[in-house]
């Protein structure tokens, strides 16, 4: 699964890496947690550029009676995302990219759960495959939310967790945002693949508490894996 991640790179880097139409206003984030407002990349009317908006992490389906359902829908399994009632409409029409430069997983030890930060060499940014939805409150106000798609862990990450977020690179990002993309093409993207330059490092247990969002959360404790 993916329950916490980081986004520490400057906004200008996201503009350059992901072709954003405008530079978002960002502060470094070291411990992004569910229910928080997070930058999400979506297709724009200008096919050559993408837009970046802030959505709440935890998808609330348009038909939901209570938005608190989003607290549980932070991840969607790639194997069933196209058919599950909570996700299938968004999979067809509302796909997005979730920018990050690291994510956390935990491993049980004799001293409790040890967090690890998974990131690329040089902390290069990447994107998770995501879906978004709009839910309308009784007073008519809209709430936009998103979910991160996961798949089976690849060989690199399997020792730490049996699931991992779907990371999209290059042309896969374009296809994921393409409105006319075919279902089978999209499902093919949701497979576990090796991540070139992946670094796995133990970090402080400060990250276990979502109230902690400071550089120490992502500070390595020892040698990289």
In angstroms, the Cα distances linking 51 to 32, 59, 96, 149 are 20, 19, 10, 20
Q: Which residue has the tokens 């279902």?
A: 183
DSSP string over 200-213: EEEB-GGGGSTT--
Query: What is the C-alpha to C-alpha distance for residues 99 and 116, in angstroms, rounded to an integer?
Result: 19
Is 105 a known active-site residue?
yes
Is 2 a known active-site residue?
yes
Query: What is the C-alpha to C-alpha distance for residues 178 and 7, in angstroms, rounded to an integer?
Result: 25
* Distant-in-sequence contacts of 166-170, Cβ < 8 A, 24+ apart: 166/78, 166/128, 166/129, 166/190, 167/126, 167/127, 167/128, 167/129, 167/193, 167/195, 168/97, 168/126, 168/127, 168/128, 168/129, 169/126
Tokens of 108: 């049980």
Q: Which of 96, 105, 133, 144 is flagged as catalytic?
A: 105
Q: What residues pair up with 103 in beta bridges, in sequence order?
A: 5, 118
Q: What residues pair up with 26 in beta bridges, in sequence order?
A: none
| Catalytic residue annotation | 2, 105
């Amino acid at each position: 699964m993916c329950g916490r991640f980081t986004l520490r790179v400057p906004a200008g880097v996201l503009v350059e890496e992901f072709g954003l139409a405008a530079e978002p206003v960002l502060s470094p984030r070291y411990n992004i947690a569910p229910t928080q407002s997070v930058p999400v990349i979506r297709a724009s009317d200008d096919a050559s550029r993408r837009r970046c908006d802030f959505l709440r992490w935890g998808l609330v389906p348009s038909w939901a009676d209570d938005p608190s359902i989003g607290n549980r829908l932070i991840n969607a399994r790639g194997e069933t995302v196209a058919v599950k009632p909570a996700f299938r409409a968004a999979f067809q029409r509302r796909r997005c990219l979730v920018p990050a430069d690291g994510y956390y997983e935990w491993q049980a030890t004799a001293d409790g759960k040890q967090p690890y930060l998974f990131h690329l060499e040089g902390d290069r940014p990447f994107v998770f495959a995501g879906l978004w939805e709009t839910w309308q409150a009784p007073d008519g106000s809209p709430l936009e939310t998103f979910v991160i798609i996961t798949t089976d862990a690849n060989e690199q990450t399997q020792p730490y967790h049996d699931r991992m977020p779907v990371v999209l690179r290059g042309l896969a990002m374009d296809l994921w945002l393409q409105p006319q993309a075919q279902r089978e093409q999209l499902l093919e993207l949701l497979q576990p693949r090796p991540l070139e330059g992946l670094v796995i490092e133990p970090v402080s247990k400060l990250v276990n508490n979502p109230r902690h969002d400071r550089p120490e959360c992502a500070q390595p404790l020892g040698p990289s894996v």
